[in-house]
Amino acid sequence: MSQAGADEQAAALAARLVPQVPRLARRVVERIRAEVPGFDRLPSEVQDVEVAATARSAIRAFLEHAQGLPGRDTGLSRRRAVQRAEEGVPLAALVQTYSVGAEVVVDALAEAALPGEEAALLRLTREQLRAVGAAVTQVTEAYLTGAGDQHVAVRELTWALLRGEGPADVAARYGLPLESGYLVLRVRGAGNGDPAAARAALRWVLGHAAPRADGRALSLRDDLGGFVLLPASFPVEELARRFPAVDAGAPVVGAASASSPAGVPAAAARADRIAVVAGRPGVHRLSDVLLEYHLTHPVDSAAELVAVLAPLSGHGELLPTLVAFLDADLNRRDAARVLAVHANTVDNRLDRIAELTGVDPRSSRGIQLFGAALVVHRALG
């Protein structure tokens, strides 16, 4: 067979596999999960979305090249290699995933080959081996170098901010911007200190927060997860909305604000305490865990606790109604008699209190929170 004929056969065989790319990528993920140590511990989002996307990209690129189509290098494999390094996936395990992918592709080529296409199958098998070799070289280099000097610079600036030790000097040394204020996130992974869970937790938060931070996200990993520093204007509510609704393995995130770089250490300490008292997956601000926080750290939360009552200040009848309702042991009729109003008026005022403060005084949390706020309010005069 002529060279042109062999090229044509190989291109035709590769073209027949193109519609199967999604199925082949799923097969790669299934085998990686079953055969490669460590990947089954990664979050399902990483396994089913990121690994599958990387497999689809690599298989499609190979099949396009085999058809003589222009190549395209998105850099996805190298980026994933850096991420796997940050998650603590061993390099040997990462390399093994490429061997698994090659086997899946070669098996699919063999299955799709028609009688008389043996030469084309052999050619594509060799090309797949060369492609895998090149990919392994690239991802190994990316894995070992990580994010290079920029990663070191970000880590040092984050460390300086968290410790309050000359962040302006570090920022100037590396040419990094210093924000006027920061939103500080304390990330704690699930798994009682499991290193893989801690790394995955930090990367989950960075993966959702960094794109909205316009390249201004800072992070520092530790054994529990780590810290993420974002511009003070970052919409933390959006991050909270993106959080998995039901996922026992999702991270716990405490959030606190610093009005200046000098305030970052205190904000980091507060964010850490918020995460500890929250104790459940989600993004938590002080207002979300105010009572629990105050019970364990009353020194720096008294003002915030009293502030729960602030929305009532412009409505003279509401605070006395709240006091009467709690003093009456939640009996609306007894409270109404004390206030000399109808019981329905008490109900209406309680509804208004819930509307203004966001906390229903008839709920178990509202009873505790308003009760504690009133005690501190009285103590402070």
pLDDT tens-digit profile, the chain (381 residues): 566 667 788 899 999 999 999 999 999 999 998 898 767 666 566 677 778 888 998 999 999 988 888 766 667 788 777 777 665 567 788 889 999 999 999 999 999 999 988 989 999 999 999 999 988 998 888 777 654 445 667 878 988 899 898 899 989 988 888 999 999 999 988 766 667 777 778 888 887 787 778 778 898 887 788 899 999 999 888 888 777 654 556 788 999 999 999 999 999 988 988 888 787 788 998 888 777 777 666 656 677 777 888 888 888 889 889 888 888 888 989 989 888 899 899 999 999 999 998 889 888 888 878 877 776 776 555
For residue 148, the one-letter residue type is G
What pLDDT was estimated at residue 184?
A: 96
Give the angle subtended at the CA of 139 by the CAs of 75 and 213, to the nearest 5°: 50
What pLDDT was estimated at residue 21?
A: 94
**What is the torsional sign of CA 220, 226, 227, 228?**
positive
Structure tokens at 237: 């509510």
In a 13 Å sphere around the CA of 361, the CA atoms on its Cβ side amount to 35
What pLDDT was estimated at residue 296?
A: 60
Strand partners, 226: 187, 221
- CA dist 130 to 63, 81, 94, 99, 225, Å? 13, 19, 17, 12, 38
What pLDDT was estimated at residue 74?
A: 63
CA gap 53, 57 in Å, rounded = 6
**CB contact set of 68 (below 8 Å; sequence gap of 6+):** 7, 11
For residue 85, the one-letter residue type is A
What pLDDT was estimated at residue 371?
A: 79
Tell me, rounded to whole angstroms, the distance of Cα 365 from its chain centroid.
28
Residue closest to 200 by CA, chosen among 94, 85, 89, 87: 87
Residue closest to 68 by CA, chosen among 132, 123, 23: 123
**CB contact set of 164 (below 8 Å; sequence gap of 6+):** 262, 264, 265
Domains, the chain: 3-145 (1.10.490), 149-286 (3.30.70), 305-379 (1.10.10.2840)
What pLDDT was estimated at residue 351?
A: 92
- CA dist 13 to 20, 63, 65, Å? 12, 9, 12
Structure tokens at 291: 């009572």
Q: Confirm if 258 and 274 have CB atoms less than 8 A apart.
A: no
H helix runs in 72-192, sequence order: 76-87, 91-112, 118-145, 148-163, 167-174
pTM check: above 0.85 = no
Task: Identify the DSSP state of 19.
Answer: G
Structure tokens at 329: 């042991």
Q: Confirm if 217 and 228 have CB atoms less than 8 A apart.
A: yes
